[in-house]
Chains A and B, each alone.
Chain A
Amino acid sequence: MTAASAEVGTRRPPWTVVAGRELRDLWLGGRGLPLMVVYALLLSVTSYLVASNQALNFLEQREAVSLTLQVAVAVGGLLVLLGAADAVSGERERATLESLLLVPASRRQLVLGKAVAAMSLWIAAFVVAMPYLWYLGHGVGVVTSAVFSGLVVGTLLALFLAGFGMFTSTLAGSNRLSLSVCLLGLLALYAPTQMPSGVQNAWVGDLLLHVDPFTAGLHFLGAVIVNGHSFGAEASWLIGPLVAAVVAVAAALAAAGQLTLGSGDRS
């Protein structure tokens, strides 16, 4: 990352220089491609199991598209979270944060550049998922709605998770702590999907499902793809993910202003 200091100072905004370096590190020398291979294998297994089940009726096939898309969005979000949770605390643990902080760019620009690199994992994951969605969905006419709704929901969730991961990573003293907190947070966000339907139908459960960005986003996908509802009819389910994305990104940028070499050192 130290080479970035040479590039910063050109006319390009510093965050684009940082993002460029991070993207090169992630995709040419880092774990971007290995993560995509594993991700593609997961989607391959899911898609093959679905496609080889001849007993699926028409609606179940739409549900299969919805399932594949939900797996793609959820695992894509997990990849973004892993990338973001490691971004600052990883540099701190590998003792490379000091040289990064010497780069003539504001701390928010540094964090923004790293967040862009983490978001690239979602973009790549979505591109990898598209052929699977096309294959499973073209027979039942849901490819367009699956791709568009998946892009909207997945991007909102990825922004939220990138913000959450960057915020945690900036404040955490170690990479292990950052990853633990992020994964625990992610598990907690998935928990409402396991609530009994009776609880989900109560007003408290319904509120929780709307507020939780994951349950709201995944519900939106199911309603659009399986039930064939219009985007407008289900738009209220996007409020939770949108608010969560804005709050998490704002929190990450606020925490970035406080970024120091040591996690507890605020002097």
Chain B
Amino acid sequence: MRGWIAGLIFLLLVIAAATPAAATRDLAPASSAASGLSVTNDQNALSTRIGERFSFTSTVRNDSRMDRPGVVAHLDVVTLDPDVYVDPEDWSSQRTEFLGTVPADGLTRIDWKVQAVNSGDFVLFVSLTTLEGTDRVTTSSALRVTIASQQTLNAGGILPLVLGLPAGLLALMLGAAVHRRRRLHQVR
């Protein structure tokens, strides 16, 4: 019996030693536990209309006992509608913030200014990483944004304009030509 147990322990040790370290890292949650960094948003849902600007604040905390230099925060936008294409650059021109050092047991706040350029349901989140020293990326919870559409353009509505204006000018031109011809005729 003792031999079986010793064999089992030996087998477990061999398996543990053979498992790549990277795999262990990948499975570990990208939370604040390892790096001490975490990020939270002051809102988790909001509704607005297309074209409106809104803002929210992210708080970056360093819960470790060591300063965290070179912290970088990045805002991203994900669409929940497969038919909507999102270019995050359109939503916010300043999406990456180089925060520098976040002191031990300290925090830094970031104000994000965003413009709603598509309608539908979206998720915004903030990711954290550091310039050196770790390959972990910490993300905030989702900020769910619902954007109401607004009919701003109507192809049918523009038809009177795109046809009427050139036609009006053409009529004016023809009228001027007829007037000129009549005057020439009267002079002769």
Contacts and interface: CB of A to CB of B under 8 A. Distances in A.
Given A33-B173, A57-B90, A48 B115 contact: no
A40 to B, nearest CB: 4
Contacts of A34: 173
Given A28-B176, A34-B173, A139-B153, A58 B115 contact: yes
Contacts of B162: 44-45, 47-48
Interface in B156-177: 157-159, 161-163, 165-166, 169-170, 172-173, 176
Given A44-B162, A132-B161, A56 B90 contact: no
Contacts of B172: 33
B187 interface: no
A44 B170 CA distance: 14
A264 to B, nearest CB: 36
A59 B165 contact: no
Given A33-B169, A57-B90, A59-B117, A48 B155 contact: yes
A139 B150 contact: yes
Interface of A: 27-29, 33-34, 36-37, 40-41, 43-45, 47-48, 50-52, 54, 56-61, 128, 131-132, 135-136, 139-141, 227
8 nearest A-B pairs in the assembled complex, by CB-CB distance = A139-B152, A44-B162, A52-B155, A33-B173, A40-B166, A58-B117, A51-B158, A59-B117
B152 A128 contact: no
A63 to B, nearest CB: 10
Contacts of B93: 227
B94 to A, nearest CB: 12
B153 A136 contact: yes
Grouping DSSP codes into helix (H, G, I), strand (E, B) and loop, the A interface class, with mixed when no group exceeds half, is: helix
B158 A40 contact: no
A128 B165 contact: yes
20 contacts: A27-B176, A33-B169, A36-B173, A40-B166, A44-B162, A44-B166, A51-B158, A57-B50, A58-B118, A59-B115, A59-B117, A128-B169, A131-B161, A132-B161, A136-B153, A139-B150, A140-B51, A140-B152, A141-B51, A227-B93
Nearest to B83: A55
B149 to A, nearest CB: 10
A61 B115 contact: no
Contacts, number: 81
A127 to B, nearest CB: 11
B85 to A, nearest CB: 8
B19 interface: no
A51 B155 contact: yes
Contact of A135 (B116, B158, B163): B158
A56 B169 contact: no
Nearest to B165: A40
Contacts of A40: 165-166, 169
B158 A37 contact: no
Nearest to A38: B166
Contact of A57 (B118, B151, B161, B176): B118
B158 to A, nearest CB: 4
